[in-house]
């Protein structure tokens, strides 16, 4: 399916930000935000909403941890998302599509599909909601809202599926600090939260 015709899950900006948009990583009112997404979401063609700040595209974003190490990925030159090429990421995320509603929870089902598409992992997968991410500073991030989950893995056996597009490795927060300036903004926000 081409990106242009892909149907993506959105909510109206005023529904998710009734008091005006906040910027950064928040961990308050998570139940209210989740309820808004579940009750007021709809699908629109990605091409219609990619540059329209009236809509927030909902992106489940999974941070994986095993012991004290986190999975850091690095987009390679072949990545399809040109705006994010060569950047480091602390989370695995993607749009939610209509097929993700089959099991009843668009956020969790979208998250699990995206995870299975991106990585091979042989351990326990239990995702805990830890916060929401909103970055008002750039056009690409302004139309996306990150729903951040932490997976505490019981196995270090995790690997990238599409090795031509992504590389990934488990690192401590201290070890990945040298990549901080090359991280996408959401990952910087997550890193700041995890190290605070």
Q: What is the pLDDT of residue 168?
A: 95
Who's near 187: CB < 8 A, 6+ residues apart?
A: 87, 88, 89, 90, 91
pLDDT mean across residues, the chain: 90
Would you say residue 175 lies in a domain? Answer: yes
Torsions phi, psi for 20 (to 5 deg): 95, 150
Would you say residue 2 lies in a domain? Answer: no
Would you say residue 115 lies in a domain? Answer: yes
C-alpha distances out from residue 181 to 88, 128, 165, 171, 178, Å? 9, 27, 20, 16, 8
- Segment 115-127 shows an average pLDDT of 93
Among residues 75, 78, 49, 71, the alpha carbon closest in space to that of 142 is found at: 49
Would you say residue 1 lies in a domain? Answer: no
Looking only at the bridges linking them, the beta strands covering 144-152 and 55-66 are parallel
Would you say residue 71 lies in a domain? Answer: yes
Q: What is the pLDDT of residue 105?
A: 82
Range of the domain at 66: 7-195
User: How many structural domains compose the chain?
Assistant: 1
CATH of the domain at 15: 3.90.79.10
Q: What is the pLDDT of residue 80?
A: 59
Would you say residue 100 lies in a domain? Answer: yes
Q: What is the pLDDT of residue 191?
A: 97
pLDDT digits (tens, 9 = 90+) for 135-167: 998 877 899 999 999 999 999 999 999 898 889
Considering the entire predicted model, what is its pTM? 0.90
């Amino acid at each position: 399916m081409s990106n242009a015709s892909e149907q993506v899950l959105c909510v109206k900006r005023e529904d998710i930000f009734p008091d005006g948009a906040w910027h950064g990583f928040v961990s308050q009112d998570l139940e209210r935000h989740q309820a808004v997404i579940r009750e007021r979401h709809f699908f629109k063609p990605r091409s219609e909403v990619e540059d329209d700040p009236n809509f927030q595209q909902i992106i489940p974003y999974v941070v994986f941890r095993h012991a004290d190490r986190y999975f850091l990925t690095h987009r390679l030159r072949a990545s399809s998302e040109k705006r994010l090429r060569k950047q480091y990421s602390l989370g695995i995320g993607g749009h939610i599509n209509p097929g993700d509603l089959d099991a009843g929870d668009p956020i969790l089902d979208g998250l699990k599909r995206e995870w299975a598409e991106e990585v091979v992992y042989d351990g326990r997968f239990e995702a805990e909601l830890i916060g929401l991410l909103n970055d008002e500073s750039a056009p690409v991030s302004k139309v996306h809202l990150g729903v951040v989950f932490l997976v505490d893995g019981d196995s270090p056996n995790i690997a990238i599926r599409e090795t031509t597009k992504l590389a990934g490795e488990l690192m401590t927060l201290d070890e990945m600090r040298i990549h901080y300036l090359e991280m996408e903004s959401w990952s910087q926000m997550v890193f700041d939260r995890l190290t605070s």
